[in-house]
Chain A
Amino acid sequence: MAWESVIGLEVHVQLQTRSKIFSSAATAYGAQPNTQACAVDIALPGVLPVMNHQVALMAVKFGLATGATVNCRSIFARKNYFYPDLPKGYQISQYELPIVSGGQLAIDSGNGEKIIRITRAHLEEDAGKSLHDEFDGLSGIDLNRAGTPLLEVVSEPDLRSPLEAVTYLRKLHSLVRYLEICDGNMQEGSFRCDANVSIRPYGADTLGTRTELKNINSFRFVEKAIQQEIQRQIELIEDGGQVIQETRLYDPLADETRPMRGKEEAHDYRYFPDPDLPPLIIEQAELEKVRDTLPELPDARRERFVHQYQLTPADADQLTSDREIADFFETTADAAGGDSRSAANWINGELMARLNRDNRPIGENRITPKALGALICRINDQTISGKIAKDIFSALWEGEHDVDGIIDARGLRQISDSDALEQVIEEVLGRCVEQATQFRDGQEKVLGYLVGQVMKATKGKANPQAVNAILRQKLSP
Chain B
Amino acid sequence: MLQTKKISSVELTSHFLQRIDQNRELNAFITVDAETALANARQADISLNDKSGDLLTGLPLALKDIFCTRGMLTSCGSRMLANFTSPYDATVTERLNAAGSVLLGKTNMDEFAMGSSNESSYFGPVLNPWNVDCVPGGSSGGSAAAVSARLCPATVGTDTGGSIRQPAAFCGLTGLKPSYGRVSRYGMVAFASSLDQAGPITQSAEDAALLLQAMAGFDPRDSTSLDIEVPDFLPALKTSLDGVTVGVAASFLDSTLDPDVLAGIEEALRTFENLGARLVDIELPNSSAGIPCYYVIALAEASSNLSRFDGVRYGHRAEQYDDLMDMYEQSRAEGFGDEVKRRILIGTYALSAGYYDAYYLKAQKIRRIIADDFRNAFQRCDLIAAPTTPTTAFRLSEKVDDPVAMYLNDIFTVPVNLAGLPAVSIPVGLDQATMPIGMQLIGPYLEESRILAAAHSYQQVTPWHQRIPEAFT
From 66 to 108 in chain B, residues with beta carbon under 8 angstroms from any chain A beta carbon are 67-68, 74, 76, 81, 84, 86-88, 90
* A411, CB-defined interface residue at 8 Å: no
Tell which of A49, A78, A87 touches B223, judged by Cβ atoms closer than 8 Å: A49
* A301, CB-defined interface residue at 8 Å: no
- Could you give, for residues 119-158 of chain A, a 1 whenever the CB lies within 8 Å of some chain B CB and a 0 otherwise? 0000000000000000000000100000000000000000
Cα separation A44 to B348 with both chains bound (whole Å): 21
Tell which of A45, A90, A272, A276 touches B68, judged by Cβ atoms closer than 8 Å: A45
Is the Cβ of B88 less than 8 Å from the Cβ of A272?
no
Cα separation A90 to B86 with both chains bound (whole Å): 21
Query: In the complex where A39-B88, A47-B187 touch, is A276 in contact with B224 (Cβ < 8 A)?
Result: yes
Cα separation A367 to B292 with both chains bound (whole Å): 71
B113 to chain A minimum Cβ distance, whole angstroms, is 12
Is the Cβ of A87 less than 8 Å from the Cβ of B300?
no
Contacts of B324 in A (CB 8 A): 84
B85 to chain A minimum Cβ distance, whole angstroms, is 11
Tell which of B223, B303, B360 touches A50, judged by Cβ atoms closer than 8 Å: B223
* B4, CB-defined interface residue at 8 Å: no
Nearest A residue to B349 by beta-carbon distance? A270
Cα separation A272 to B299 with both chains bound (whole Å): 12
Query: In the complex where A44-B87, A48-B185, A89-B304 touch, is A141 in contact with B312 (Cβ < 8 A)?
Result: yes
B364 to chain A minimum Cβ distance, whole angstroms, is 9
Contacts of B187 in A (CB 8 A): 46-47
Interface size on A, residues (CB 8 A): 28
Is the Cβ of B90 less than 8 Å from the Cβ of A48?
no
Is the Cβ of B308 less than 8 Å from the Cβ of A43?
yes
Query: In the complex where A45-B68, A45-B76 touch, is A90 in contact with B307 (Cβ < 8 A)?
Result: yes
Is the Cβ of B193 less than 8 Å from the Cβ of A275?
yes
Is the Cβ of B90 less than 8 Å from the Cβ of A89?
no
* A200, CB-defined interface residue at 8 Å: no
Is the Cβ of A45 less than 8 Å from the Cβ of B310?
no
Nearest A residue to B313 by beta-carbon distance? A42
Contacts of A89 in B (CB 8 A): 304, 306-308, 310
Is the Cβ of A87 less than 8 Å from the Cβ of B313?
yes
Contacts of B223 in A (CB 8 A): 48-51, 276-278
Is the Cβ of A268 less than 8 Å from the Cβ of B352?
yes
* B314, CB-defined interface residue at 8 Å: yes
* A82, CB-defined interface residue at 8 Å: yes
Cα separation A175 to B328 with both chains bound (whole Å): 42
Most buried by B among A46, A141, A270: A46
Nearest B residue to A266 by beta-carbon distance? B353
Contacts of B312 in A (CB 8 A): 84, 87, 141
Contacts of B68 in A (CB 8 A): 44-46
Our count of residue pairs bridging A and B at CB distance below 8 angstroms stands at 98
Tell which of A43, A49, A276 touches B313, judged by Cβ atoms closer than 8 Å: A43
* A88, CB-defined interface residue at 8 Å: yes
Cα separation A272 to B324 with both chains bound (whole Å): 26
Tell which of B193, B194, B352 touches A270, judged by Cβ atoms closer than 8 Å: B352
Is the Cβ of A50 less than 8 Å from the Cβ of B307?
no
- Could you give, for residues 71-112 of chain A, a 1 whenever the CB lies within 8 Å of some chain B CB and a 0 otherwise? 000000010101010011110000000000000000000000
B174 to chain A minimum Cβ distance, whole angstroms, is 26
* B189, CB-defined interface residue at 8 Å: yes
Cα separation A268 to B221 with both chains bound (whole Å): 30
Cα separation A276 to B195 with both chains bound (whole Å): 11
* B356, CB-defined interface residue at 8 Å: yes
* B190, CB-defined interface residue at 8 Å: yes
- Could you give, for residues 215-238 of chain B, a 1 whenever the CB lies within 8 Å of some chain A CB and a 0 otherwise? 000001111100000000000000
From 313 to 347 in chain A, residues with beta carbon under 8 angstroms from any chain B beta carbon are none
Is the Cβ of A270 less than 8 Å from the Cβ of B304?
yes
- Could you give, for residues 326-368 of chain B, a 1 whenever the CB lies within 8 Å of some chain A CB and a 0 otherwise? 0010000000000000000000100111001000100000000
* B284, CB-defined interface residue at 8 Å: no
Contacts of B90 in A (CB 8 A): 46
* B374, CB-defined interface residue at 8 Å: no
Contacts of A48 in B (CB 8 A): 185-186, 221-224
Is the Cβ of A270 less than 8 Å from the Cβ of B86?
no
B346 to chain A minimum Cβ distance, whole angstroms, is 13
Is the Cβ of A39 less than 8 Å from the Cβ of B87?
yes
Contacts of B304 in A (CB 8 A): 78, 80, 89-90, 270, 272
* B301, CB-defined interface residue at 8 Å: yes
A268 to chain B minimum Cβ distance, whole angstroms, is 5
From 153 to 184 in chain A, residues with beta carbon under 8 angstroms from any chain B beta carbon are none
Tell which of A42, A270, A275 touches B348, judged by Cβ atoms closer than 8 Å: A270
From 180 to 200 in chain B, residues with beta carbon under 8 angstroms from any chain A beta carbon are 185-190, 192-194
Nearest A residue to B88 by beta-carbon distance? A39
From 304 to 326 in chain B, residues with beta carbon under 8 angstroms from any chain A beta carbon are 304, 306-310, 312-314, 324
Tell which of B220, B221, B303, B308 touches A45, judged by Cβ atoms closer than 8 Å: B308
What is the interface of chain B, defined by CB distance below 8 A to chain A? 67-68, 74, 76, 81, 84, 86-88, 90, 185-190, 192-194, 220-224, 300-301, 303-304, 306-310, 312-314, 324, 328, 348, 351-353, 356, 360
A-B interface, 6 closest residue pairs, ranked by CB to CB distance from nearest: A89-B307, A275-B194, A275-B193, A270-B351, A46-B187, A45-B189
What are 12 sample pairs from A and B whose C-beta atoms fall under 8 A apart?
Answer: A39-B87, A43-B313, A44-B88, A45-B68, A45-B189, A46-B187, A80-B303, A80-B304, A89-B306, A268-B353, A272-B300, A278-B224
Given contacts A49-B223, A82-B310, 6 further A-B contacts (CB under 8 A): A47-B186, A89-B306, A270-B303, A270-B351, A270-B352, A272-B304
